[in-house]
Structure 1
Amino acid sequence: MIAIYLWETGAAIISLMGLLHLKATLTTNKLSPRNEKLETDMKHDTLLLTDKLNMWKSWIGFNATHSIGAVFTGIVNFYLAVKYPSLLQSDPFIPLLTILVIGGYVWIAAKYWFHVVLTLLFIAWISFLAAWLLLLFNG
């Protein structure tokens, strides 16, 4: 049972981080650059990929979809832990994929993001990893 609680904890952290990031992206200026000229430039400069999309819209869109992906990952994992906990033990695909993806987030956070995000992601990753090891070795 502890393993399931740990899995739910990791999932809840990821979902909450995604929701907070989505809120910050869509309803605040927290992801705006401090340099107002840079934001203005981003709104007027297009991508090499297409001149129909400016850098600012790309920035907001990337952050919003990144958030939604985190929310989805967290919710799916929480749902599996609540409704189908035996699946986490019997089939390694979802647990391994989750551990690899969140581990990737931890690596990226360590390299590019700030300490609070790294700490929360690391806690979520350790929760998933510990849960899966408990499920594997304790049945």
Structure 2
Amino acid sequence: MEISINKNQVARICLILASVILLFFGILHLHGTFFSTDLYPSDLGLIEKLKTATIQMDESGIIWKLWIGFNAMFSVGLIFIGSVNLYLSTKHFEFIRGNNPILTLTICSNIFFVWIGNRYMISDFAISMAIPLIFFAIGYLIIQLKRLTT
């Protein structure tokens, strides 16, 4: 009995998994930004200082509001990247399979997320971004290898 593996299906599953993971972490981060204190400093006195401190560029730029805003924008970015790739992977796989720039930009974005996570953030974040990166890279490599062999 011979088991036949459809490489397109494996690539598609990898892209779907990676997209779902990004979407999940984007939603989780958005929840952490607006509906919990997970992203708050442990020093509660520091929060009060951040609510009155401003940036030098513009005194209307209050550090605490900027912190919330940057986290919200990051969340929406993850949700967007995950949603677009999920939609394309499930509904228009042939398009994404034949369109290298989309997957290349997605992989580059994930590489940047992992780098930022390692350099400036917590290790859990870097790991949570490395997992979809691996799945996107595997899917991309399968697509490229299949293209070379056909």
TM-score, structure 1 length as denominator? 0.95
1:50 aligned partner, one-letter code = D
State, as a whole percentage, how many aligned pairs show the same letter.
Answer: 29
2:60 is aligned to: 52
When Rg is computed on C-alpha atoms for both structures, the one with the higher figure is 2
TM-score, structure 2 length as denominator? 0.88
Q: CA deviation at 1:82?
A: 0.9
Aligned counterparts of 1:51 and 1:121: Cα–Cα separation in 2: 34
2:104 is aligned to: 96
Backbone CA RMSD of aligned residues? 1.1
1:34 is aligned to: 42
1:17-47 CA distance string (max 9 Å, x none): 0100000010111111111221111101112
Count, aligned residues: 139
2:128 is aligned to: 120
Aligned counterparts of 1:105 and 1:127: Cα–Cα separation in 2: 15
Consecutive unaligned residues in structure 2, runs of 5 or more = 1-8
Q: CA deviation at 1:132?
A: 0.8
Task: List structure 1 runs of 4+ shifted beyond 3 angstroms.
Answer: none
Aligned counterparts of 1:104 and 1:52: Cα–Cα separation in 2: 29
2:21 is aligned to: 13
1:111 aligned partner, one-letter code = R
1:68 corresponds to 2:68: no
1:59-104 CA distance string (max 9 Å, x none): 0011011100100000000001011111222121101000100011
Consecutive unaligned residues in structure 1, runs of 5 or more = none
